[in-house]
Amino acid sequence: MTDQPTLITGRAFWRGFRRNRIAVAGLAMLLIALAAAVFAPAVAPYDPYAPVAITVESIYQRPGPAHWLGTDDAGKDVLSNFIFGARVSLTVGIFASFISVVIGGLIGISAGYFGGRLERWLMRFTDFMLVIPDLPLIVVIVAITRPSLTNIILVIGLLGWTTTARLVRSQTLSIKERKFVLRARSIGAGHLHILRRHIFPLVLPLLVVNSVLIISLAILNESTLSFLGLSDPTRISWGQMLNYAFERGAMSSRAWWVLVTPGFGIVWLVLGFTLLGHGLEQVLNPRTEWHHLTDHPRMVSLPAPLNPQP
């Protein structure tokens, strides 16, 4: 049996994608979040960055007609904070994951394709980075540097590439051994040509799936950082909302809405990206869903009738 190829022609991909409920559900969840984040100023009932005069009555107001999700310890509208908070999570998630996937992809492809000493050193480095627990290191570095949005993205991105590198390396190793790469070499093709035309297109689906899955990890890391108080003070984020809630007596005020709302947001995004990632994996990985992608007519074998009744 030859290894079934990974295949993405546009139309076949969409057909497979639409049939995959997990992927569609994930994408729908993410589109809602994305729309909220992009159009936050239009969607949010209040401007969370506008100063408000705090009165005793305005803090920790229960959800009601004026504030659908109540107010927080500073008298601000929780729903508006929640909508604007999606921006930070999505920005950090997408950019950090992009950095991770580019680094992991480069390291994985170079190690797998060139092999030899380069591979040994790169993989030793990867293993070293893999055994360091990510989160404590991220916390330490962000605490030492300033917790600005850029710093948070860089630190999460620069530490999150190890699994990508390992996956891409093993995929590259198996593609490299395939006959069409040998045929390209026999034509006289150089490394650049082979990497660009043969290796990269076949690694790409893996990179796409991986980047989507890594976004949810990055979002969780960012939320944890903010929850621990390491957030960009100039921007509202869900982790930061949780942090303030815990530090400023939401529990004793029984203001459950300040806790549940950002928590729900984090779960929503992480779940959305995870569903989309696994759905894409099924669509793109021919071993699970190969038949969705083939264009040629399949032979349909009808089950033979059981023993004819006498």
Rounded-to-integer distance, Cα 172 and Cα 157, Å: 22
Among residues 62, 180, 251, 253, which is the contact residue for other proteins, using CB under 8 A?
A: 180
Q: How far is the CB of 210 from other proteins (least distance, A)?
A: 18
Among residues 117, 254, 287, 296, which is the contact residue for other proteins, using CB under 8 A?
A: 296
The reply on whether position 173 binds other proteins by CB under 8 A is no
Q: Which two tokens stand for residue 82?
A: 């929640």
* Structural contact between residues 203 and 170, judged by C-beta atoms closer than 8 angstroms: no
DSSP 3-state of 77: strand
Binding-site size for other proteins (CB under 8 A) equals 26
CA dist list (Å): 35 to 27, 215, 272: 12, 17, 14
The reply on whether position 183 binds other proteins by CB under 8 A is yes
Residue 290: DSSP 8-state: G
Binding part of the chain for other proteins, among 3-11, 82-90, 142-150, 219-227 by CB under 8 A, reads 3-11
The residue among 57 and 295 lying less far from other proteins, judged by its C-beta, is 295
Q: How far is the CB of 76 from other proteins (least distance, A)?
A: 51
Q: How far is the CB of 195 from other proteins (least distance, A)?
A: 13
Among residues 8, 220, 270, 284, which is the contact residue for other proteins, using CB under 8 A?
A: 8
Rounded-to-integer distance, Cα 184 and Cα 199, Å: 11
Rounded-to-integer distance, Cα 161 and Cα 98, Å: 10
Among residues 189, 208, 259, 271, which is the contact residue for other proteins, using CB under 8 A?
A: 189
Q: How far is the CB of 185 from other proteins (least distance, A)?
A: 6
Rounded-to-integer distance, Cα 52 and Cα 263, Å: 25
Rounded-to-integer distance, Cα 32 and Cα 111, Å: 39
Residue 90: CB partners within 8 Å, gap ≥ 6?
A: 33, 34, 37, 219, 269
* Structural contact between residues 229 and 243, judged by C-beta atoms closer than 8 angstroms: yes
The reply on whether position 178 binds other proteins by CB under 8 A is yes
The residue among 2 and 55 lying less far from other proteins, judged by its C-beta, is 2
DSSP 3-state of 8: coil
The residue among 150 and 288 lying less far from other proteins, judged by its C-beta, is 288
The residue among 166 and 198 lying less far from other proteins, judged by its C-beta, is 198
The residue among 192 and 304 lying less far from other proteins, judged by its C-beta, is 192
Rounded-to-integer distance, Cα 23 and Cα 274, Å: 9
Among residues 55, 117, 133, 295, which is the contact residue for other proteins, using CB under 8 A?
A: 295
The residue among 8 and 225 lying less far from other proteins, judged by its C-beta, is 8
Chain residues in the site for other proteins (CB under 8 A): 2, 5-9, 178-180, 182-190, 193, 197-198, 201-202, 294-296
